[in-house]
Amino acid sequence: MIDPFGARLRKNLDRLGPLCAGLDPHAALLEAWELPDTVDGLERFAMTVVEAVAGRVAVVKPQSAFFERHGSAGIAVLERAIGALRAEGTLVLLDVKRGDIGTTMQGYADAYLNEKSSLFVDAITVSPYLGFGSLRPTIDTALANGAGVFVLALTSNPEAPEVQQARTPDGRTVTGAMLAHLAAENAGVSPLGSVGAVVGATVGSTGEDFAVNGPLLAPGMGAQGGTAEGLREIFGTDALRNVLPSTSRELLSAGPSVEALRSTADSLNDSLATVLR
């Protein structure tokens, strides 16, 4: 049995720094790297990123959709990238945003969070908007296998407020209710809980309580407008140590040179660490 995800993440963050490197092989980036938009191009892109950052950053976050669009062969590339990253001690957070109920949600959990699966990763993203209780199979499977879950809580897309900022009967926002659920899941866990939140790096000050004793994934750094100083405004000082800022385009645009990717990752990590640690 491997150590809980939260404990492994805490160790990696303290050892390697806060950067979460996005692995988003979308068509425009393949073109920019002068690679074909094929399975071969996908594999060359993905494994170049793996070579550049494996063992150098705490977490890599592949976007599953960009592999899925190439069919079963694309999923096979994803499996190889996951295995290569984890072999170097890099945690893999698969961005899949699954959300369903009952046996269907259990199926997703078994696919990604059961250590016997070929797609087993350290954590996945999930959507709670069928009700937080619908995530129970995912959370239980994750915890039983030393894995983690990141729950969409406060995203930066313009459509989000109609759901996430709606008020519950007790007056809290839906975001606030989700954060309270996360705090309950992580209560008493040390050094860090394994059930985290996804909070956009550009949402600004919200008044929400992010002290959930769990990791806080902050996508949208760099090209999407998120900054290290902006994270301090969002999360305040108490939760900053648990923030995992994620960047994709700012890092990946440095490719296809492995050396340039490494240099960019190191620079981003250093600049984030000065603010977050």
Report the catalytic residues. 97
Q: Decide: 197 and 178 in contact? Cβ < 8 Å.
A: yes
Q: What is the DSSP annotation of 102-170?
A: HHHHHHHHHHHHSTTSTT--SEEEE--TT-GGGGHHHHHHHHHTT-EEEEEEE--STTTHHHHTPBPTT
- Give the largest Cα separation in the chain, rounded: 54
> What is the Cα Rg of the chain in Å?
18
Length, in residues, of the chain: 277
User: Which amino acid is located at 45 in the chain?
Assistant: F
Beta strands in 17-88 (DSSP E): 20-23, 59-62
